[in-house]
Amino acid sequence: MLSLRSRRLLFSRWCRYTHWEFWPVWLFYIPIVFYIFWLALRYRGATLFSIANPKMDFGGIFGDDKSNTLEPLASALPASVPASHILNASTNSEQFLQLDLTYPLVLKPNNGYRGTNVAIIQDEASAVSYLKKHSQQTTLLQEYIAGEEFGVFYIKPPEQEKGFIYSIVNKKFPSVTGNGVNTLETLILQDARAVMMAPTFLQRHSQQIDRVLVKGEAYQLVDVGSHCRGALFLDANEYISEKLSDAIEQLAKAIPEFHFGRFDVRVDTIDNFKRGQNIKVLEVNGVTAEAAHIYDPKNSLFYAYKVMFKQWDWAFKIGKKNKERGFKPVKLKKILQRWLQA
């Protein structure tokens, strides 16, 4: 529960800050949904996008199991993915502790999305607590990879030998810096960006909000590269290069019939990212992934819709080509059933 002072400060910030990036998710997607309806008429197929990646379950509309999408990479290019284990609902704490683990590590749902229930685990007790809390889900345990995080959106028309990088987003983790006077709560509420996620940050760091940070002390508010968890998404299209494109092409070719989606990756330095070196793939997302650079605060709403409309046009165009190659789109009824179960 926010204090009265917190609610007043939060309300004043909301009144002054109206960038579309912080709109409710459903509101932003309304025009995109109508555009998808129009594309369905234009390409004469309501669900052509479901075979943009014909070897992925539903083309990646709802997110294939993360372990399944990473498995081809792990087989062909083992150095490109973090070490991982699948923990089923039947895995108990004792079996988990028998694994050869190094902390920190990452635990997340094997078929989750938008950063839901993703956690950076620092010790054994936290790991056991996480597994007990999420005992009904199939959990993917991954080696923690430090460094810079990027989302690289890749598109490859089936008739072409090579694809191209459509978008790059650099995911930054916001922090506040102490001044020796203010508490963490006040620093969050006074920060022009952090205040937009204040309820989330204050709850997440509830044990620390009354602590006064010493002058110059940096306090990281986010540790997961998800926009809805508070990560800052920056346009990084300037990093597109021939070397990086070749590295991403190699990753894409390791995944059967992968034509359209985003690689979420970490790399030790930006220079190595530009060179296409030391890249570790955390996740591979299919047809409903986004060219997430649009969320950079510098980008306008008009620009965001332009990019998203073009992205969905590619999804239908690739789906049409794949249908001509013999792949069958998923029926709309099945998609709606899956959506209701998600």
Predicted local distance difference test score (pLDDT) of residue 150: 97
The pLDDT tens digits of the residues spanning 158-212 come to 999 999 999 999 998 888 999 999 999 899 888 877 877 777 888 888 888 899 9
- Regions of the chain where pLDDT drops below 50: 15-17
Token pair in block for residue 40: 């369905």
State pTM to two decimals: 0.87
Q: What is the pLDDT of residue 16?
A: 47
Whole-number Å distance between alpha carbons of 61 and 22: 24
**Torsion angle in degrees (nearest 10) through CA of 296, 232, 283, 150:** 70
How far, in Å, CA of 21 to CA of 193, rounded?
Answer: 11
Q: Are 149 and 264 in contact (CB under 8 A)?
A: yes
Q: pLDDT of 285-312, one tens digit each? A: 999 999 999 999 899 999 999 999 999 9
pLDDT score of 329: 96
- Answer positive or negative: Cα dihedral of 327, 333, 335, 338: negative
The per-residue pLDDT for 70 is: 92
The Cβ of residue 330 has, within 10 Å, a number of other Cβ atoms equal to 18
Closest by CA position to 116, among listed 284, 203, 228: 228
**Which three-class secondary structure state does DSSP give residue 195?**
helix
The phi-psi region of residue 159 (left if phi > 0; otherwise alpha if psi is between -120 and 50; otherwise beta) is alpha
Number of CB atoms found within 10 A of residue 168's CB: 25
